[in-house]
Amino acid sequence: MRRSLLMRLAWRQSLLRLVLFYAAAVAIGLLLHRLLEVLLVATTLVAVRSYWRLYRVSRFLDWRQQLHAVHGQGLWAALETLVYRRQTDNRARSRRLVRLLRAYRQAAATMPDGAIVVSRSENRLIWFNKSARRLLGLNYPHSLGTSLLATLPGPRIEQWLRSGNTDDPLMDVASPVDENLRLSLRLLRYSPEEWLVVVRDVTQLMRLEQVRRDFVANVSHELRTPLTVVHGYLDMMEPEDSPEWAPMVGEMRKQSQRMTQLVEDLLTLSRLESQQSLTEETVTMEPLLITLRREAEALSQGRHRIVIEDEARCDLFGADKELHSAFSNLVSNAIRYTPNEGSVTVRFSRTPDGGARLAVQDSGYGIPAQHLPRITERFYRVSTSRSRESGGTGLGLSIVKHVLSLHQGRLEVDSEVGRGSTFACVFGPERVRPRQS
Ligand code: ADP
């Protein structure tokens, strides 16, 4: 009896424990469920908020958006403030740049010189100012995108644009608006893909230059006749009849010859200056080199060793008389500025780019380096006395320079005092012709 009571009690206790345990488990489960729900809601809220801040930052990064100052604390606010500050700085900087660009454009637009931005690849007009419209007859916006060569046609402009020469302006270009309007064009590096062409009205300058040229040509021409008469009479004088006159007559003949040469050189120079192109043909170099040798030998009178090296085996395309005049000026200088027993070598060779080069090398006095940039100027002499003594007019190298420029060639000078000089006429491949023999 007692035993069954005990058992019943134990059983009831266990049942109670079980109920309590289940109740506790249910309560904990419910609690956990609620907690999870709260956690889920909280996480969703945090995610939505983060997404919203991220969206704001991305809107800030899009720089077309109107910006607002950021208030608040935390990582997102710090990030937004940073982006806001960057964007504000960038906007201020770009506003400054736009203002600067406008000022530059304004300055370029009001400049009296024409300014044109041209693409380097196809010479197409990208931008031009008011003066360019006036000077070249350009039309906005129709001329945009057209080639500069359509406005200024001709091989001279084409060659100049192709050369990319930013050092020397192209002078005396006729305006397409009016033939009498003379322009100078200057090429400037604007960007890796574009040139800036500056167009200047040089009509007045060209007119003055023409007056100067005409004056020199007229004076030279007027001097020619009296000089021929003086020269003629001097030649007729026989100093043998009165030997005391012999030195004076000799000196007078020498001076009148110098003057004749000076007048001839001045006339040649003004003729070259007034021409934009020459009558051109194939110049056969073999007979020309033989003539140069003959001239050198006549001038040297056996005092120098003269060598002609014809390595190019090609001819030149150009003006025969003018090229001959340029080459013989260089040969004459080499003989005149080389002491007795020296050597003069004329070498005609090809250049690596397919062009040709006629070099006159001497073992003469040489030219100090500081004089080299100026020796092609009219009447510029390194030593006036030596030039006069040797019968120089001071115009030889100016003639050479002009002849070469009319052939799109260049003069290269290499000289060392006491060792000699090399004057080389360099021609582009377009001037080379195969030899006809
Ligand atoms: P010039 O008639 O006086 O020779 P150029 O114009 O031919 O005038 O030459 C200008 C100057 O350059 C000369 O006066 C001379 O001083 C110098 N020069 C020219 N060629 C040579 C040369 N081969 N060697 C040394 N000096 C030279």
Give the CATH number for residue 268. 1.10.287.130
196 and 220: one domain? no
Q: With respect to residue 82, please indicate whether it lies within any of the assigned structural domains.
A: no
What value does the mean pLDDT take over residues 54-68? 72
Residue carrying the six token digits 């060659």: 159
Q: With respect to residue 6, please indicate whether it lies within any of the assigned structural domains.
A: no
Query: Does 164 or 73 have the greater pLDDT score?
Result: 164
222 and 288: one domain? no
**E-assigned strand segments in 286-435:** 305-310, 314-318, 343-350, 356-362, 410-416, 420-427, 432-434
Distance between CA atoms of residues 136 and 176, nearest Å: 6
What value does the mean pLDDT take over residues 287-306? 96
**Two tokens at 86?**
């960057």
170 and 214: one domain? no
Q: What is the CATH number of the domain that holds 195?
A: 3.30.450.20
168 and 303: one domain? no
pLDDT band, residue 85 (cuts 50/70/90) = confident
**120: nearest Cα among 167, 166, 154:** 166
What value does the mean pLDDT take over residues 273-291? 91
CA 77-80-85 angle, 5° bins? 125
Structural domain that includes position 320: 281-434
pLDDT band, residue 437 (cuts 50/70/90) = low
Q: With respect to residue 3, please indicate whether it lies within any of the assigned structural domains.
A: no
Phi and psi of 196, rounded to 5°? -110, 120
Query: Does 289 or 10 have the greater pLDDT score?
Result: 289
**194-234: pLDDT as tens digits:** 999 999 999 999 999 889 989 999 999 999 889 999 988 88
Contact between 331 and 344 under an 8 Å Cβ cutoff? The reply is yes
Which of 77-86, 169-178, 236-245 bottoms out in mean pLDDT, i.e. has the lowest? 236-245
Count of the separate structural domains present in the chain: 3
Q: With respect to residue 291, please indicate whether it lies within any of the assigned structural domains.
A: yes
pLDDT band, residue 238 (cuts 50/70/90) = confident
**24-41: pLDDT as tens digits:** 999 999 999 999 999 999
188 and 122: one domain? yes
236 pLDDT exceeds 70? yes
Q: Is 123 left (phi over 0), alpha (psi -120 to 50) or beta?
A: left
Distance between CA atoms of residues 211 and 213, nearest Å: 5
Question: Is the shortest distance between the CB of 382 and ligand 1 below 6 Å?
Answer: yes
226 and 128: one domain? no
Query: Does 170 or 58 have the greater pLDDT score?
Result: 170
Q: How many Cα atoms occupy the beta-carbon half-sphere of 238 within 13 Å?
A: 2
Is the bond preceding 141 in cis, omega lying within 30 degrees of 0?
A: yes
Residue carrying the six token digits 């192209």: 170
Q: What percent of the chain is modeled with pLDDT above 70?
A: 98
Going by CA atoms, what residue is nearest to atom 14 of ligand 1? Answer: 381
**Two tokens at 99?**
């203002």
At which of 178, 201, 224 does a domain end? 201
CA of 119 to the centre of ligand 1 (A): 42
Question: Is the shortest distance between the CB of 344 and ligand 1 below 6 Å?
Answer: no
pLDDT of residue 52: 87
286 and 417: one domain? yes
pLDDT of residue 66: 64
Q: What is the CATH number of the domain that holds 416?
A: 3.30.565.10
Q: With respect to residue 38, please indicate whether it lies within any of the assigned structural domains.
A: no
pLDDT of residue 165: 87
At which of 231, 254, 274 does a domain end? 274
246 pLDDT exceeds 60? yes
414 and 288: one domain? yes
274 pLDDT exceeds 70? yes
290 and 231: one domain? no
pLDDT of residue 175: 94
Neighbours of 175 (CB within 10 A): 20
418 pLDDT exceeds 90? yes
Question: Is the shortest distance between the CB of 176 and ligand 1 below 6 Å?
Answer: no
318 and 262: one domain? no
420 and 324: one domain? yes
Mean pLDDT of the chain: 90
Q: With respect to residue 80, please indicate whether it lies within any of the assigned structural domains.
A: no
Q: In what order do the strands lie in the sheet with 281-283?
A: 281-283, 314-318, 432-434
pLDDT of residue 74: 80
pLDDT of residue 114: 94
69 pLDDT exceeds 90? no
Question: Is the shortest distance between the CB of 387 and ligand 1 below 6 Å?
Answer: yes
Going by CA atoms, what residue is nearest to atom 3 of ligand 1? Answer: 394
pLDDT of residue 416: 95
**Type and span of the H or E element at 108:** helix 75-110
pLDDT band, residue 78 (cuts 50/70/90) = confident
Q: With respect to residue 315, please indicate whether it lies within any of the assigned structural domains.
A: yes
pLDDT of residue 43: 93
Q: With respect to residue 423, please indicate whether it lies within any of the assigned structural domains.
A: yes
73 pLDDT exceeds 80? no
pLDDT of residue 65: 66
What value does the mean pLDDT take over residues 66-77? 74
Neighbours of 114 (CB within 10 A): 24
Buried b (16+ CB within 10 A) or exposed e, 312-324: bebbbebbbebbb
pLDDT band, residue 432 (cuts 50/70/90) = very high
49 pLDDT exceeds 60? yes
Going by CA atoms, what residue is nearest to atom 23 of ligand 1? Answer: 334
Distance between CA atoms of residues 237 and 240, nearest Å: 9
Distance between CA atoms of residues 1 and 10, nearest Å: 14
Residue 311 DSSP one-character state: -
Contact between 223 and 270 under an 8 Å Cβ cutoff? The reply is no
pLDDT band, residue 319 (cuts 50/70/90) = very high
At which of 232, 248, 274 does a domain end? 274
Question: Is the shortest distance between the CB of 257 and ligand 1 below 6 Å?
Answer: no
What value does the mean pLDDT take over residues 67-84? 78
Residue carrying the six token digits 């960007």: 191
Q: What percent of the chain is modeled with pLDDT above 90?
A: 62
152 and 191: one domain? yes
What value does the mean pLDDT take over residues 126-147? 93
79 pLDDT exceeds 90? no
Distance between CA atoms of residues 224 and 216, nearest Å: 12
Pocket test for ligand 1, best of 304, 327, 382 (most atoms within 8 A of CB): 382
pLDDT of residue 98: 94
Question: Is the shortest distance between the CB of 399 and ligand 1 below 6 Å?
Answer: no
Neighbours of 88 (CB within 10 A): 12
391 pLDDT exceeds 80? no
